[in-house]
Amino acid sequence: MEAEIKWLDDPEIFQVGRINAHSDHRFFVNDEEMGKGKTVLEQSLNGEWKFCYSVCAKERPADFYQDGYPDENFDRIMVPGHIELAGYDKIHYINTMYPWEGHYYRRPAYTLNGQKCWAGMFSEAAYNPVGSYVKEFDLNEGLLHRRVLICFEGVEQAMYLWLNGSFVGYAEDSFTPSEFDLTPFLKDKGNRLAVEVHKRSTAAFLEDQDFFRFFGIFRNVTLIAKPEIHVEDLWAKPELSEDGKGSLAVDMKLTMPEGTTGRAEISLTDKGGQMLLCHNLLLPGDRKPMPGQAEQKSGYREISGEMEAVDVGEVIPWDHQNPYLYLLLIKLYDETDRLIETVPYRIGFRRIEIKDKIILLNGRRLIINGVNRHEWSAESGRCIGLGEMKTDMQCFLRNNINAVRTCHYPDQIPWYYLCDENGIYMMSETNLESHGSWQKKGAAEPSWNVPGSLPQWRAAVLDRAESNFEYFKNHTSVLFWSLGNESFVGDDIEAMNQYFKDKKDGRLVHYEGVCCNRAYEDTVSDVESRMYAKPWEIKEYLENHPKKPYLLCEYMHDMGNSIGGMGSYIKLLDEFEMYHGGFIWDYIDQALWVWDEVTGKRVLHYGGDFDDRPADYEFSGNGIVFADRTEKPAMQEVKYYYGLHR
């Protein structure tokens, strides 16, 4: 297959050749590796890459992926990172408006009855920058002679991938991993990987988050080799009964060489090493692939491995106060009983439900002392590391914050693990925000809203929902799936809601935008979610035959010197059982360090400080911590009020 530039313009093409989303479990070849948390199966491609910047697709070196292409004159760029922060394209902050506002007239494909032309909207635009990346690598020993995939954890906003001159795939969705099977194209040595990243595509209509608008490979790039027998997908389903007893079911998808047999050992141990469960699953030697599930590479087949619910007796429930996790261990053995793969996953037992219109966690009313968190660093934008995540987690714990909404896209994977370990309740949000398509100067005007009810946009948003679910389904901390933010409501978002409900994982589905059109009230969102509702408006809802439990997905807008009057919200927790609290907007100021020639000092700049127009200026800074992660003075207020209901 050949790559086509026109995919940028077509909302129905958002991936080509991408591996299906699956659980984010890690895997090791033996117990020793597992103990160290490091495996020979992974090879990071982070670091210096060759790079060429072009202002638009027409000017890009279109054949740069070909073997023998003379790329000696390419620049060098660090991966991961934003191309703008490497100095190539203008840094731009804007809130609801699309970033091309006033520069380009664009209507999403198929809106307005399809009367507007969209061919070439992005692929032929005079300004739609392209980053052409090249990385040469030899395979590390641990990856040799295995099936190897490549994982791009985050590429903004559309990427084409080639290896050794062959087209591998295409992906949008900047904030979920995009994985591709490299096996057919790999050499042991002298591989040449080519990635072409486009700043805008139809994904831009769905990714209009209120943040700095960047592009590039901004999260890790890793080669991952699969052991001969491999857990492709794991869905652990721990359940907590009302009498405190736990049960666990496990669904797996595995691949293994055709014609071989093996076994899977599934065990569960507590922190003291006591085994609660040990279950053996035979992996039969059926030669026939499962219907419709043929593995791409011949020689391997995909099989299901299911363990039906097994009672494990009394368990310690997981919650914020005591985020107790058990170790689920899956060990795969081949037919000679040699250990091939080990998959550890720490899971907790907890029960989230709505009873009598009240959200209960483990039978107790859930109180959300939450905050919205963008991934941000004043040094490197949305390219952050484990250090920032740990700092943020410590800040949460220090200040009685018990919940986080991953506004408005999935975060890096380690953050979900940190939330499991530290008892932080997660609202895991799908990468979707299209407020520029219906919010005009603060008023609702949805004449060309996407995704709306447009069938041509449905698959793209469903894919985003699926990525959110599949990658994070095993995280105990995820209590809510969120469909996205400020994208209005229509049949497509309704279909996303249904997607999550069909999973029957007990979690609640959240979407605020349904308040724009109450016709979808019964089919979208398990909770009445609002943003910036005034205390008396909340009261009004809750005193007038409320249909759903109430939470604030955004409140207490901490722009500059703010967080006054928080007590009026916290008081509602005592007045209304159906009020569950909310998520402060937001965690960290979005501003960037720049060198100020006048003072000779490093200073923080915000929207509009880069000659970026139109901009929303200091609206980029609403954090309870400053951009350098020091706490704002208002934090003591947050800590006090969030300490009252724990």
Partner 1 sequence: MACTDNQGMQNGKLHVVYGDVTLGVHGERNGKRFSYLFSYATGGPESICIDGREWLYRSPRPTFWRATTDNDRGNGFPLRSGMWLSADLFIKCTGVQVRANGIELPLPCAPENNRYSEDERAETIEVTYTYETITSPQTEIFVSYQVSGDGEILIKVHYYGKKELPELPAFGLRMIMPTCADKYVYEGLSGETYPDRKAGGVKGVYEVQGLPVTPYLVPQDCGVHMDTEWLKVYRSTGLDNSQKEKKETALHFELNGLAFSCLPYTACELENATHMEELPPARRTVLCIYGAVRGVGGIDSWGSDVEEAYHVKGGDDISFSFRICVS
Q: Annotated active-site positions, please?
A: 486, 554
Euclidean distance between the first and the last CA atom of the chain, given in angstroms as a whole number = 56
Look up residue 308 and give its two tokens: 């039906």
Nearer to partner 1, 184 or 567 (CB): 567
Task: Tell me, rounded to whole angstroms, the distance of Cα 502 from its chain centroid.
Answer: 20
Q: Which of 137, 135, 127, 152 shows the shortest CA–CA distance to 56?
A: 127
State which amino acid sits at residue 221: V
Q: If you count them, how many residues does the chain have?
A: 646
Distance CA 283, CA 335 (A): 9
Look up residue 526 and give its two tokens: 């398990």
Residue written as token pair 């720490």? 346
For residue 579, the surrounding DSSP H or E stretch is: strand 579-585
Distance CA 111, CA 41 (A): 46
Distance CA 87, CA 481 (A): 37
CB of 479 closer than 8 Å to CB of 551: no
Nearer to partner 1, 332 or 624 (CB): 624
Look up residue 642 and give its two tokens: 């969030």
> Shortest Cβ distance from residue 407 to partner 1 (Å)?
16
Nearer to partner 1, 137 or 593 (CB): 593
Q: What are phi and psi of 37, to 5 degrees?
A: 70, 20
> Shortest Cβ distance from residue 602 to partner 1 (Å)?
10
Distance CA 418, CA 430 (A): 19
Give the footprint of partner 1 on this chain (CB under 8 A).
442, 532, 534-535, 555-568, 589, 591, 596, 598-599, 601, 603-606, 609, 618-622, 626-627, 632-634, 636-641
> Shortest Cβ distance from residue 479 to partner 1 (Å)?
25
Characterize 146-162 residue by residue with b for buried, 16 or more Cβ atoms within 10 angstroms of its Cβ, and e for exposed: bbbebbbbbbbbbbbbb
CB of 22 closer than 8 Å to CB of 253: yes
> Shortest Cβ distance from residue 585 to partner 1 (Å)?
9
Look up residue 473 and give its two tokens: 């389904």
Distance CA 130, CA 53 (A): 6
Nearer to partner 1, 38 or 602 (CB): 602
Beta strands 579-585 and 368-372, pairing class: parallel
Q: What are phi and psi of 174, to 5 degrees?
A: -65, -25
Residue written as token pair 């080799």? 225
Q: What are phi and psi of 70, to 5 degrees?
A: -75, 95
Nearer to partner 1, 312 or 591 (CB): 591
Nearer to partner 1, 523 or 562 (CB): 562
Distance CA 237, CA 249 (A): 5
> Shortest Cβ distance from residue 351 to partner 1 (Å)?
33
> Shortest Cβ distance from residue 591 to partner 1 (Å)?
6
Nearer to partner 1, 105 or 536 (CB): 536
Residue 621 to residues 112, 125, 142, 216, 605: CA-CA distances in angstroms?
Answer: 35, 31, 45, 23, 10
Instruction: Kindly report the three-state secondary structure assignment for every residue of 253-312.
Output: EEEEECCCCEEEEEEEECCCCCEEEEEEEEECCCCCCCCCCCCCCCCEEEEEEEEEEEEE
Nearer to partner 1, 185 or 626 (CB): 626
> Shortest Cβ distance from residue 636 to partner 1 (Å)?
4
> Shortest Cβ distance from residue 398 to partner 1 (Å)?
13
Nearer to partner 1, 365 or 605 (CB): 605
> Shortest Cβ distance from residue 620 to partner 1 (Å)?
8
> Shortest Cβ distance from residue 485 to partner 1 (Å)?
16
Nearer to partner 1, 417 or 640 (CB): 640
Look up residue 201 and give its two tokens: 């595509």
Characterize 321-359 residue by residue with b for buried, 16 or more Cβ atoms within 10 angstroms of its Cβ, and e for exposed: eebbbbbbbbbbbbeeeebbbbbbbbbbbbbbbeeeebb
